[in-house]
Amino acid sequence: MRCTVFGTGYLGATHAACMAELGHEVLGVDIDEGKIAKLASGEVPFYEPGLADTLRRNLDSGRLRFTTSYAEAAAFADLHFLGVGTPQKKGEYGADLRHVHAVVDALAPLLDRPAVIVGKSTVPVGTAAELAVRASGLAPAGDAVEVAWNPEFLREGHAVVDTLRPDRVVVGVDPTRDGRAEALLRELYADLIAAEVPFLLTDLPTAELVKVSANAFLATKISFINAISEVCEAAGADVGALADALGHDARIGRRFLGAGLGFGGGCLPKDIRAFMARAGELGANQALMFLREVDSINMRRRTKMVELATRAVGGSLLGSTVAVLGAAFKPDSDDVRDSPALNVAGMLQLHGATVTVYDPKAMDNSRRLFPTLTYATTAIEACDGADAVLLATEWDEFRSLEPADLDGVVRSRVIVDGRRCLAADRWRAAGWTYFALGSKADG
């Protein structure tokens, strides 16, 4: 089959490469010429394990190409995926749909034969129906252009495997139409369906809502364990052991019960806020009031980390030297959007600490976003002369740090484990003062 993918960020680039991997002919489209040139030459403009191999293999086979030309894209296929970003609006909770609208407004006037526009971006419920009216109004083919919604559930760092072996494929269609969109998407995903990936057909608003509900649930699960973590800290209990015990209940499950610095990134934080905003517009805001608490529990983890750091350096950050290990919002990613690690580093600096940050992959993005922080080229260099070392993103490189690696490097042997990923006993046995979010503090 042939398809196009509009938007070549994390979502679009991965989707384009993976659809080609499934054997389809794919054209990736973006207005950013630099990005298109990179992708066309086999270079992924962000860090995503495994994506470069998939990209190159499919460029070489000729199944995958990239262009900036909407006219070429409109002529190439009748199945067009929307994979552009829907960031949080500046100063507001709602989602900014300008990129989605821009694609539809530029593409639809070029559609002169039946076509299906398939949304993958995360959008407020009701967007698909609105786009359907907009697209058929602008398209020479009129009503023969329809909109379907096929939300994406991939995680950064696991994007390729999540796309090729998803837990489910959700497809929302307009039930008053003739079934063409469903048939095309069943054909596109035939290999996944054959591999027994559940294919769930819904109407448009349900498909849009599945996506935001899934992210809201994941965020709620993390904030739930972080709320329990606050009680554990006060009561001297251990939230890790508690989460293990909870997780054995199959109804609860252990995943996403990782207590610590909480969630960040380009999805969970903005999605729960956009969900609340949209529910408010629909007059259903009371139903989602708890998400406000989910958000504030999450933000409290960051201030709690700053408080722990303050204790760790002896009561005042002013004039202290702090190493922050990690800048990406999670390991195996170079994404620093709404990163708890960088947020904490920024707060420490505001409180008068000299902060040096190191991350294995996210240094360029961090420098761009937080140019006033100091950056080191290795973890050891970041810890040089530190009064306290803060672990903010649980990269394997940091998990495998040995206390001896930092002896003679730091000024004080004090470590704050914001992701609960170090063996506390080993650090304590080596003479370190070990603090962790979710446990009663040493100091």
The residue ranges that bind ligand UGA (CB under 6 A) are: 122, 152-156, 215, 218, 222, 256-258, 260, 262-265, 267-268, 329-330
| 28 bridge partner residues | 5, 66
Q: Which residue is nearest to ligand UGA (CB)?
A: 258
Q: Which residues of 226-252 are buried (b: 16+ CB within 10 A; e: fewer)?
A: bbbbbebbeeebbbbebbeebeeeeee
Nearer CB in complex with ligand UGA: 265/403? 265
**Min dist. Cβ of residue 52 to ligand UGA (A):** 18
Tokens of 187: 């054909």
Is 122 within 8 Å of 86 (Cβ atoms)?
Answer: yes
Given 3, 232, 267, 421, the catalytic residue? 267
**Min dist. Cβ of residue 108 to ligand UGA (A):** 25
**Min dist. Cβ of residue 123 to ligand UGA (A):** 11
Nearer CB in complex with ligand UGA: 70/275? 275
Nearer CB in complex with ligand UGA: 312/342? 342
Long-range interactions of 346-349: CB distance < 8 A, separation 24+: 346/370, 346/373, 347/302, 347/303, 347/306, 348/306, 348/309, 348/317, 348/322, 348/324, 348/390, 349/373
In 3D space, the residue among 118, 117, 153 whose CA is nearest the CA of residue 10 turns out to be 153
Nearer CB in complex with ligand UGA: 103/406? 103
**Min dist. Cβ of residue 152 to ligand UGA (A):** 6
Residue 65 Cα to chain centre, angstroms: 25
Nearer CB in complex with ligand UGA: 132/222? 222
**Min dist. Cβ of residue 176 to ligand UGA (A):** 29
Nearer CB in complex with ligand UGA: 97/139? 97
**Min dist. Cβ of residue 119 to ligand UGA (A):** 13
Is the C-alpha dihedral spanning 243, 244, 247, 248 positive or negative? negative
Residue 257 contacts by C-beta under 8 Å, 6 or more apart in sequence?
221, 222, 224, 225, 243, 246, 247
Nearer CB in complex with ligand UGA: 188/268? 268
- Tell me the C-alpha to C-alpha distance, in Å, between residue 118 and each of 78, 122, 204: 10, 12, 11
In 3D space, the residue among 98, 89, 175 whose CA is nearest the CA of residue 129 turns out to be 175
Residue 143 contacts by C-beta under 8 Å, 6 or more apart in sequence?
136
| 67 bridge partner residues | 29
In 3D space, the residue among 355, 370, 359, 357 whose CA is nearest the CA of residue 334 turns out to be 359
**Min dist. Cβ of residue 73 to ligand UGA (A):** 23
Nearer CB in complex with ligand UGA: 108/327? 327
- The secondary element (H helix, E strand) that includes residue 170 is strand 169-173
Residue 368 contacts by C-beta under 8 Å, 6 or more apart in sequence?
none
Q: Would residue 267 show up in a list of annotated catalytic residues for this protein?
A: yes
Helix (H, G, I), strand (E, B) or coil at 118: strand
**Min dist. Cβ of residue 111 to ligand UGA (A):** 27
In 3D space, the residue among 237, 289, 330, 377 whose CA is nearest the CA of residue 49 turns out to be 330
**Catalytically active residues, by annotation:** 267
